[in-house]
């Protein structure tokens, strides 16, 4: 502990009067009791808040155990407790995060995570709030935050980083956590952190500990927030991937975002939508591929600048360049209200291309690769493919159903079962206005699994379609590719749990022996849930 004396010197030796009053009047507002007993026929009372003892009445004019009433002396709302009853566990607990100025440097902000309690299990007279510091935090402008945690032995241990919760807390979820915004306001007043825009983050990061750690380290948090780009800050605080797009130590917005002032103003116009991947997309298309696109277009195409969809673009270079594909997707999004995202348009375009290949249509001409109206071309190809597939695929699907039907599941509102034929899949797609019919071949070969969700009260009407591939729910869509609502999603989550219960010790195999089909092409589906 001696090694941390310099750190601990910033903190007051004992809880301040302001903290004591905050605990008493706010945190433990409901921790006020009226203990009652009788002296002869007269019921007496003692209030733990005002410490007054007085007579309540005679005979039947009495308060009952655990009822709520107001103290006749101070007016506080109290819970009545019979003095003679056991109260071994009558202890009220809370966690309190309290901010203050450093006692040795007024430009430094400190915070303490207190475990606080009021113990009425013994002598209930003159009970006061007890405080035990569990963690200390020090926020120095330019240096960021530091944290000490008290171990079970009572010694202080320095943590590598500032945590939102003190490590090692037991049963903390059963105890309320309180943070005084008034203490925050007073603590940051007159320090660089008063301009950090902490008020805009307090609802999301209730104790603000990780926020002040970031804001003390990087002053750009202030002007990113003022610019409306708080999405970049929350991504950093949430530990999400930021793709290296923010120079957190930059001294101006241009240096922080690595952009010109004009570009910064353009991003400010879509500030509420900006994510780290938006900025990465902007730099990727402009600097790496040389396409002068707008910030909004970069945002729409963000998923194609990194990861899975980026690789998919590269795989299609023989057909078209990345820029050609990106411009086509943007054109289709603007043309049709059906495509709410670029990935949705991409999925339909890829389905269209696969259908062309299956029908033997050469993908050599641009007008074939990029049909003017993607939705119409997609639906036309779907109808042609359906005619070709039905007979052979139905036989393969029937071979799979004996096993897949055993995973059907239902509750009082919904049911879910495997698709039973290509006709059913195409009718599903037609009714719900999506392209599940194009997955019939993969489903028949065991490369994916397709389940149909229905209302129990209307089992023949399509509601939602679910695709599971390699143990992951890849898609779950309703009419016009809408996302599931809360009730539908909750049922799907229970269905996944149902599959988990039915699995063997390590894996659950939906398909049996389908590797004999399309040998060399189909890979066995093993679902690990």
Cα 350 to chain centroid distance, Å, stands at 30
Q: What is the mean pLDDT of the chain?
A: 88
The pLDDT of 358-386, averaged and rounded, is 90
In the predicted structure, residue 456 carries a pLDDT above the cut 50:
yes
Question: pTM value?
Answer: 0.69
Question: Is residue 297 within 8 Å of 264, Cβ to Cβ?
Answer: no
pLDDT tens digits, 281-302? 999 999 999 999 999 999 999 9
| Top-confidence residue, 427 or 376 | 376
User: For the ranges 43-57, 397-411, 420-434, which has the lowest average pLDDT?
Assistant: 420-434
User: For the ranges 50-59, 227-236, 442-451, 512-521, which has the lowest average pLDDT?
Assistant: 512-521
Cα separations in angstroms, 149 against 42, 397, 444: 52, 60, 58
According to the model, what pLDDT value does residue 451 have?
95
Is residue 118 very low, low, confident or very high in pLDDT (cuts 50, 70, 90)? very high
The pLDDT of 261-275, averaged and rounded, is 92
pLDDT tens digits, 12-24? 999 999 999 999 9
399-527 has which fold? Aminopeptidase (3.40.630)
Question: Is residue 108 within 8 Å of 140, Cβ to Cβ?
Answer: yes
Backbone angles phi, psi at 151, to 5 degrees: -80, 175
In the predicted structure, residue 394 carries a pLDDT above the cut 50:
yes
Task: Pick the closest to residue 340 from 131, 480, 465 (CA basis).
Answer: 480
User: For the ranges 156-170, 231-245, 445-459, which has the lowest average pLDDT?
Assistant: 156-170
Task: Pick the closest to residue 450 from 423, 473, 480 (CA basis).
Answer: 473
Report residue 22 as tokens.
């905050």
Per domain, the residue ranges of the chain are: 399-527
According to the model, what pLDDT value does residue 508 have?
43
In the predicted structure, residue 509 carries a pLDDT above the cut 50:
no
According to the model, what pLDDT value does residue 145 have?
94
In the predicted structure, residue 526 carries a pLDDT above the cut 70:
no
According to the model, what pLDDT value does residue 58 have?
64
According to the model, what pLDDT value does residue 515 have?
34
According to the model, what pLDDT value does residue 2 have?
52
The pLDDT of 341-358, averaged and rounded, is 93
Question: Is residue 247 within 8 Å of 255, Cβ to Cβ?
Answer: yes
DSSP string, 395-412: HHHHHHHHHHGGG-EE-S
In the predicted structure, residue 111 carries a pLDDT above the cut 90:
yes
In the predicted structure, residue 269 carries a pLDDT above the cut 50:
yes
| Helix, strand or coil, per DSSP, at residue 78 | strand
In the predicted structure, residue 94 carries a pLDDT above the cut 50:
yes
DSSP string, 181-227: HHHHHHHHTTSGGGGS-GGGTTTTSTT-HHHHHHHHH-THHHHHHHT
């Amino acid at each position: 502990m001696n090694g941390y004396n310099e750190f601990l010197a910033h903190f007051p030796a004992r809880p301040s009067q302001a903290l004591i009053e905050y605990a008493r009047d706010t945190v433990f507002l409901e921790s006020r009791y009226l203990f009652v007993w009788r002296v002869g026929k007269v019921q007496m009372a003692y209030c733990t808040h005002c410490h007054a003892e007085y007579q309540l009445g005679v005979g039947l004019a009495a308060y009952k155990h655990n009822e709520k009433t107001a103290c006749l002396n101070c007016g506080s709302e109290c819970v009545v407790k019979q003095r003679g009853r056991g109260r071994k566990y009558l202890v009220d607990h809370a966690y309190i995060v309290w901010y203050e100025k450093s006692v040795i440097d007024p430009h430094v902000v400190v915070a303490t995570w207190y475990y606080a309690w009021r113990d009425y299990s013994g002598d209930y007279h003159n009970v006061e709030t007890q405080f035990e510091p569990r963690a200390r935090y020090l926020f120095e402008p330019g240096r960021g935050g530091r944290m000490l945690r008290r171990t079970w032995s009572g010694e202080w241990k320095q943590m590598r980083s500032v945590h939102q919760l003190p490590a090692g807390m037991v049963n903390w979820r059963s105890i309320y956590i309180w943070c005084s915004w008034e203490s925050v306001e007073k603590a940051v007043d007159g320090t660089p952190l008063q301009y950090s825009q902490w008020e805009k983050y307090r609802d999301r990061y209730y104790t603000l500990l990780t926020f002040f750690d970031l804001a003390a380290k990087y002053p750009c948090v202030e002007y990113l927030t003022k610019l409306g780009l708080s999405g970049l800050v929350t991504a950093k605080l949430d530990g999400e991937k930021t793709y290296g797009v923010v120079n957190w130590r930059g001294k101006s917005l241009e240096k922080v975002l690595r952009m010109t002032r004009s570009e910064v103003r353009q991003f400010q116009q879509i500030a509420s939508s900006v994510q780290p991947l938006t900025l990465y997309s902007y730099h990727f298309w402009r600097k790496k591929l040389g396409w002068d696109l707008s910030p909004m277009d970069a945002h729409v195409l963000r998923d194609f600048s990194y990861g899975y969809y980026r690789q998919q673009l590269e795989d299609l270079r023989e057909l078209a360049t990345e820029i050609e594909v990106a411009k086509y997707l943007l054109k289709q999004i603007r043309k049709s209200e059906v495509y709410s995202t670029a990935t949705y348009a991409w999925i339909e375009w890829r389905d269209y291309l696969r259908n062309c290949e299956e029908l033997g249509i050469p993908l050599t001409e641009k007008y074939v690769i990029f049909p003017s109206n993607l939705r119409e071309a997609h639906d036309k190809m779907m109808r042609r493919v359906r005619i070709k597939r039905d007979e052979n695929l139905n036989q393969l699907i029937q071979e799979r159903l004996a096993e897949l039907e055993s995973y059907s599941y239902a509750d009082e509102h919904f049911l879910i079962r495997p698709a039973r034929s290509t006709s059913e899949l195409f009718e599903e797609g037609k009714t719900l206005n999506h392209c599940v019919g194009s997955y019939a071949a993969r489903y028949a070969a065991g490369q994916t699994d397709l389940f149909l969700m229905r209302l129990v009260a209307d089992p023949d009407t399509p509601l939602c379609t679910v695709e599971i591939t390699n143990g992951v729910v890849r898609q779950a869509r309703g009419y016009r590719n809408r996302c599931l609502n809360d009730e539908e999603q909750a049922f799907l989550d229970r269905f996944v749990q149902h599959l988990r219960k039915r699995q063997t010790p390590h894996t659950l195999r939906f398909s049996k022996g389908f590797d004999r089909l399309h040998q060399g092409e189909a890979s066995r589906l093993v679902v690990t849930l």
